[in-house]
Every structure is written in C-alpha cells, then in structure tokens.
Chain A
C-alpha cells in the first residue's frame, strides 16, 4: 500500500511537543495518523516537562503548585490556552504522555500537585512539573543542599560547573565543581558524541576513575546530561556503582541530549502504532476539497506530493517551527492563512528593552481557537470543522516566560484528539 494513496484520519502538521503529543494521542485512539514537519523544537528541549510555573511574568514569581498557577493565569489572561481545557483534562493528558514515555523506558518523576525546583545549566533554579529520572536526584541534592560535586569537561561549551557553583554558593555552600578531560577526547565536545561514548562501560569506568579523587567527600555527583543516549538509566546506574555516589544529570544548553532522547523515544514508539511519518517534509499548501477532506502538498517546491486526510491538527509551533511567519507588515500563519492575533503595529512587537521582565507583546500573539481547539477566523467563526490547532501556535500565552510550554502543547493536543474521536463516534 502506498503511503501517499492512503486517506488518513488525521494529518498532524508539526513534530515538536504538540505534534508528537497529537500524533501519540491520535494513534493510541486507533486513528490512522500521518505526521509531517522538520525535526522540531523537541530537540531543543531540556527534557523537563513544564506545566505552569511563573505568573505574573513581570514579577517572575514561581509557583509551587502548577494548578494554583493555572487558576491565577486564567484569571488574568482569560484567553490563555489552559482556560479552555479544564484541570482534569490537563492532568490526564500529562499522565498519558508520561506513561507513554515510561513504556518506552524514558521514566519521568515529579510530585502530584507541585512543581519541583531544579538546577539549570546556568546555575539558576527553576521549578518544573515532570523531570527525567536521570535528573531526579539533582532535585534531592538541591533540596537537602547536600555535599555535591558538579563535573564538567574541557571542550564542552555552554556548561560550566564553576558558574553553577558561583550562582549557588550562598545557599549551597557544599557544592563544588571539577573540570576533567572527557575519556578519549580532546578538543571540542558535542553532547551526542559524548552520550555515545558513555554508552560504553569501559569509558564510564575511565570517567569514574578520573573524578574519584574529587568525589571523595560528596554524596552526589552532577554531570552534564551526556550519560548515554538511548538508555541513560543504565549509564547512570553504572556510574553510581562505580563511584558509590548518587549521580544525576543537568541539561546542557540546546541542542543537548535530553531533547534528542525524547524525540528518539517518540520515533521508536510511534512507528509501531501505525503512524506514518513524512520526515523533514514541509506542508507547502493545504486545501480543503469539496468532499470536506484536506489535501496537503508536502515536500519542496517542484518536488512535492499530495497527502489527504479527514482531519488536520496544526501543531507547527511559532516562529522557529515556522508555524508563524513574521513578515514586514505583520505575523501570518502560512499554511491555512488563519488570522493571527497580534499587536497592531510592528513597532509594538517588542518592548524597548530586550531583557525587560514583562516580556514582549509579540510573544502573546498567535491564532484564536474555540474550546474544541478549532481555529477561528476574523469574525470569530470556526474556519473548518475538521481543522484543529495545538500547542504554542495558539495566542495569549508566553510559554517561555510562564514555563508552560510542554503543558500547553500536550493538553491542547489531547483536547483536539478528544474532539476528533468524539466526532468520529457520532
């Protein structure tokens, strides 16, 4: 059977968090799913799953309870994506998502009702909802301010143990750092290559030996997140055995290995569910045919083919993901031409000060959807009854500053699939 001749139940446009979540949920409900898009923002993820942590943005106030934070943000921003979802649904979506990851041997940990503080590579502390198991012990070390060694490597850019210690030394005096050579390498280092190297037990032994002297007086050892590629728990466990200490990972600057691990988990796990992936193919054109089905032209200009689907979930992200395009006169949504809510003038896009705590108006722009996650036209009417939008492309949130990116992506995707399934059942 030719994958171009199939009529899919759902075409998911995008391969970031929202696209992966939509694809996963739809496939789990037995829908025939096609997915397009370049390797998405998921590659740039820290691996943490944020739900909701900061509000108001201008104050940078962190919330312990993501659920309370959701209430608070909805109160102030009634258009916020969470306002259309309901907490139960958000909770179910997050749980379904992490259960899938766990089934693929990428285990996540966290507290039921609160965020967990964790170190960032910059040495600051953020709060997040779900954390990969290999990073979890870092939250315990941070909580207890336990004697801890941060290891970094000559040649690895963007990760400095010293910087972390500098940032934390007041609250966490027993935190120290050491810089060593990475086993078998000199010159610059890249996380994926290091992760490969450390999937070899011999190299782990070399690494453990090289830090043994410095780790004598600590309980925890924190490494940049390069401890193995596809089975990091095995590498972490091995290093714990070799050093006799608790070991945890701290994500490095993107592209770190934590993002590719997540993506690889989806790549592995989605194919057996019958998902058809059109990798690295972009949607050049979308058309709704007279029979109500969508035809998508995917590929590159001059070399593109058509794929048809009964429903579409637009999960193409924002500017980096090419879901929104900033043109001279305004922001547009390039695939369906959905109107984008945005500041009136280009001059209003950004705050005069780039690092202003309030963030920038442009970051709250995006497309409008109804409770069923269906995009709306300028008059507030549903654009197509079989078109849905999920993730960051929706308006009225600043996921980066609010720390709600993964949550929005996963929960809106969940809702979109839910509506499609309900309609299918009718």
Chain B
C-alpha cells in the first residue's frame, strides 16, 4: 500500500520525481473526487457542498495548483535531461499536455468567470430579487471591489455603496459563494488577465474555457484505455499483484500478469536512465536497447504488430540487454521487466530472430561468403578503414606453424574440425593473409570461437589471432545489419560446409581475379 499511495518506490530513486508525481497524484485525485465527480460524491455525501464555497473552492485551487506544479516539474524534467528528452515520445507529451491543459483551462475558466460581468448578471438574474434601484449597483460595487468582477463601465467605488453591497451579498450570495479570494490561484490569474478583461468579457471567453476544460477532461477519459493513460489504473494493480517484490521472483505466473506489467508503465524513463547498457544505446542509436523503449516494442511484438525492420531493432535491443535486473529494481511501477525480457528473449530465440549468431548458422560458410561479399564492404568498414584482418602487417610474422590451432580448445573438442568448424584458426589466418577475408566471415570457427585467447597467448609471432576473430564477427554482424539480412537468402545447404568445397574456392581463386569475388 505504501508503494501505491505514498509512491514509496518512486521516492527510492528520485525525490524530484517523487515530489513531481505526488503533486500530480494528490492534486489530480483531489480534483477528481471533489470536483469532477461532485455529482456522485460531493453533493450526496457532503451536506451543504457547493463548489464555490470554502473549503472546497480553496481546496480546488490548492489541488489544481499542485497538479499544475507537478506537470511543470515533469515537463522541466523531460526537457532538462538530454537522455530523457531523447526518449520522450508524443504520448508522453500528450499526457502531460492534457493533464496540464485540464488544469490550466480550469484556472482560466475560473478566472474568466471571476472577472465576468456576464456571469454576474446571470447569477443576479437567477438568484437575486432587487428591492431597490441601487441594489444591483451596490452588489456590483461590492463584487467589483471585493471579488474582482470587472464591469464595463467600471462599477462605482463609493464606500457606502460597497458597504450596502456587502450586506446584500451576505444575505443573498454567501450561501453559495465564498470570497473569490479563497480561489487564490484563479483570483491571482484574474488580476493578471484583467487588462484583457474587456475582450474576454465581450467574447464570452469563459464559455470557451468551459468547453476546453470539459473536452480535455473527456479526451483524457477517452484515452484511458490506451498506453500511458491507463497507468493510474494499471500501475497500482500491478504493484498490488507483485506484492512489493523488487526482483524478478516470483516469476510472472500468467500471460495476464505479463500484460498487466506491460500496461503499468508510466514511461517515466527511470529504467532507461539507469540502464546498464545505455552506453551501447549511445553508440549504436537503437532505442530498443533502452528498457522503456523496448517495452513499447514488446507490446507490439506481443500483438505481432512489429514490421520486419522494427522486429530486428527489437531483437537487437533484446540481445544487447544483459539481464542485470536494474530496470526491474528501479521501476517505480514495480513492473517485472526482467521476466518480460527473459521470456521475450526466449520467444525471439524460438523464432530464430535472436541475432547474427543464429542467422549465420542457417547456411554454410561458402554460401555466406557469396552473399556477404556481393556488395563489398559495409559502409561501416569503409568509414573505419582497414582493421586487423585487412592489414598485411597483422600476418607478416605468420609462418603457418599451426600453434594457434594446436592449442585451440574448440578444435580439441571437435571430433572432425573440418566438418564441425569449416576452418581452423591457422587456416583462417592463411586466408586472411591472402586477402580472402570474405571467405572467412561465416566460418564456424569464427562463430564458435570461445574467446579464450589461447591462440593469441601462444602465438610465437605475437599475432592477434583471437582479436582478429572478434573483428571478423563484428564485420559480419555489420554487413548483416546493413543489408537487413536476418536469414540466409540462399536455400540452406543440407550438407557440406565450407570444408567440402574448399577445393572449389581455391580453384575459383586461381581462375578469377585473386578469388576476391
């Protein structure tokens, strides 16, 4: 309960966010209960309730002020943090805009009503029976002097008249009206807009603000089931369902629990601000690396609503996630993100969408050599220039002594290296020094290198064998990504990997220009 009502989880991570959200939460809830739902709650349950009577009028200003202040803090937060600003989506701004708009239009409505002689006239016509001729001017004088109504021409400021108006007001108006001064914010606003009072009054601005206020409120209601607008319902429900757990345990029992988690996101962005792999996002630029953004994709993914391109981006984000639990621990809404990631990763794996390592194994090294060399180097390779694998110097010392292969544990556990691995490390070095890089990019040895660095440690010529294998994987990944290859475009060869056709390559090599197809 403390998590839900006092926003304890939010306070854990940031007092700023806690203050901001508490202001909106209390303000909005207060208004919702006493003001928006006054027909259902306030009138039946509170005897003598009138929205224009204190303390309700005062409270309405207080709540409205709190909510508006909260919204302002929220906007400042999103604009002030570069990273957060970058991940803020239209719906984040929409929600803030609507909530802020409701508050602002409410204040403007109240303020324009305060200064409006039309409203005054309507009220006096409905509720005031003048007994003397000076009754109405007296009331006008009093309301103008005391409650800020701006008449045109201006009401009299005669003290006697005001005194009379006060008495009349006390007898006729005060049952339903406290002084407008208690609507402290609206009254202040009304003073601020008083120079434009004339125009506002003649154009009946208060009516427009009323429509705006109501339309925005109805819009908010209409948007409730969608995205972030649902969070006031989904988040407490999720917190309650999770029973205060900060970890990924207990795991989510059902699809419904997962769905609830997905809906509970308030898009506060805290997870992304603290994400372990946020630097990878900075380097690569795929928003799906950040949890708050990946969650948006996951929602679509769950509904099969991702385009192929978006699915790749989602898969990359999922792959890069290190499952460090930080987003789950930090989430103010208590969403079990960890479990969502683990289960979505599993699903991606089932569908063979889990990345280049899977893709590259879908057909053999020779087929990939053909595909990956078809468009030459990737843009990335061209920009960065020659890497270790391209430089002749990298292999100058190589005498093909086979030490790298001889110490390789992967070759050691392979029953038949030529069949299992396509090429041995020393053969890869040999192809590279002949300039046949593309032929090595998809070799099983490159992708099943366990990165133990024994080859490099033992090389008598100090060749960076393992670093080169890393680089080959990076190059292949870049090319796959750039060419949007998430599956081998050629029909998978049922048998025969690289090794069975090595002779063919070498044959072609001597026939064509250096074999560098």
Residues of A within 8 A of B (CB): 38-41, 43-44, 184-188, 190-193, 196, 254-255, 279-280, 282, 320
Contact = CB atoms under 8 A, between A and B. Distances in A.
A44 B411 contact: no
B412 A320 contact: no
A364 B457 CA distance: 31
A185 B458 contact: no
Contacts of A282: 462
B406 A192 contact: yes
Contacts of B419: 187
B430 interface: no
Nearest to A42: B460
B462 A38 contact: yes
Interface in B395-437: 399, 401-403, 405-407, 411-412, 414-420, 424
A44 B412 contact: no
Contacts of B415: 184-187
Given A255-B401, A279-B457, 7 more contacts: A39-B459, A40-B460, A44-B460, A185-B415, A255-B406, A280-B457, A320-B460
Contacts of B424: 188
B322 interface: no
A279 B454 CA distance: 13
Interface string B100-131: 00000000000000000000000000000000
B461 interface: yes
B418 A188 contact: yes
The B interface is mostly helix, strand or loop, or mixed, namely helix
A288 B420 CA distance: 53
A43 B416 CA distance: 25
Contacts of B459: 38-39, 280
A186 B415 CA distance: 6
Q: What 7 A-B pairs are tightest by C-beta distance, nearest first?
A: A187-B416, A193-B412, A190-B406, A192-B406, A38-B462, A255-B403, A39-B460
B393 to A, nearest CB: 11
B417 A43 contact: no
B351 to A, nearest CB: 33
Nearest to A43: B460
A190 B460 contact: no
The A interface is mostly helix, strand or loop, or mixed, namely loop
A196 B417 contact: no
B457 to A, nearest CB: 7
Contacts of A193: 406, 411-412
B405 A190 contact: yes
Contacts of A43: 403, 458, 460
Contacts of A320: 399, 460
B414 A187 contact: yes
A322 to B, nearest CB: 8
B349 to A, nearest CB: 30
Interface residues of B, number: 24
A282 B417 CA distance: 33
A44 to B, nearest CB: 7
Contacts of B412: 190, 192-193, 196
A82 B462 CA distance: 31
Contacts of A38: 459-462
B456 to A, nearest CB: 8
Contact of B462 (A44, A254, A280): A280
B266 to A, nearest CB: 47
Contacts of A41: 460
A190 B401 CA distance: 12
A42 to B, nearest CB: 9
A39 B457 CA distance: 8
Contacts of B457: 39, 279-280
8 contacts: A39-B459, A44-B460, A186-B416, A188-B418, A192-B412, A193-B411, A254-B401, A255-B401
Contacts of B418: 187-188
A254 B402 CA distance: 9
Nearest to A263: B458
A186 B424 CA distance: 15
A184 B414 CA distance: 10
With most chain B CB atoms within 10 A of its CB, the pick from A40, A43, A184, A191 is: A43
With most chain B CB atoms within 10 A of its CB, the pick from A41, A190, A280, A320 is: A190
Contacts of B407: 192
A89 B289 CA distance: 68
A85 to B, nearest CB: 28
A400 to B, nearest CB: 15
B427 to A, nearest CB: 10
A184 B459 CA distance: 27
A272 B424 CA distance: 35
Nearest to A256: B406
Interface string B188-201: 00000000000000
A254 B461 CA distance: 15
B414 A190 contact: no
Given A186-B415, A254-B401, A191 B460 contact: no
Contacts of B403: 39, 43, 255
B430 to A, nearest CB: 14
A38 B415 CA distance: 30
A320 B458 CA distance: 15
A145 to B, nearest CB: 33
A157 to B, nearest CB: 8
A40 B401 CA distance: 13
A56 B136 CA distance: 138
With most chain A CB atoms within 10 A of its CB, the pick from B405, B406, B416, B459 is: B406
A279 B459 CA distance: 11
Contact of B401 (A44, A184, A191, A196): A44
Nearest to A193: B412
A409 to B, nearest CB: 16
A184 B412 CA distance: 11
A191 B402 CA distance: 10
Contacts of A196: 412
B448 to A, nearest CB: 15
Interface in B353-402: 399, 401-402
A317 B456 CA distance: 21
Contacts of B456: 280
Nearest to B456: A280
A191 B406 CA distance: 7
A255 B407 CA distance: 10
B402 A255 contact: yes
A196 B416 CA distance: 16
Nearest to B462: A38
Nearest to A257: B406
A188 B406 contact: no
Contacts of B416: 185-188
A44 B461 CA distance: 12
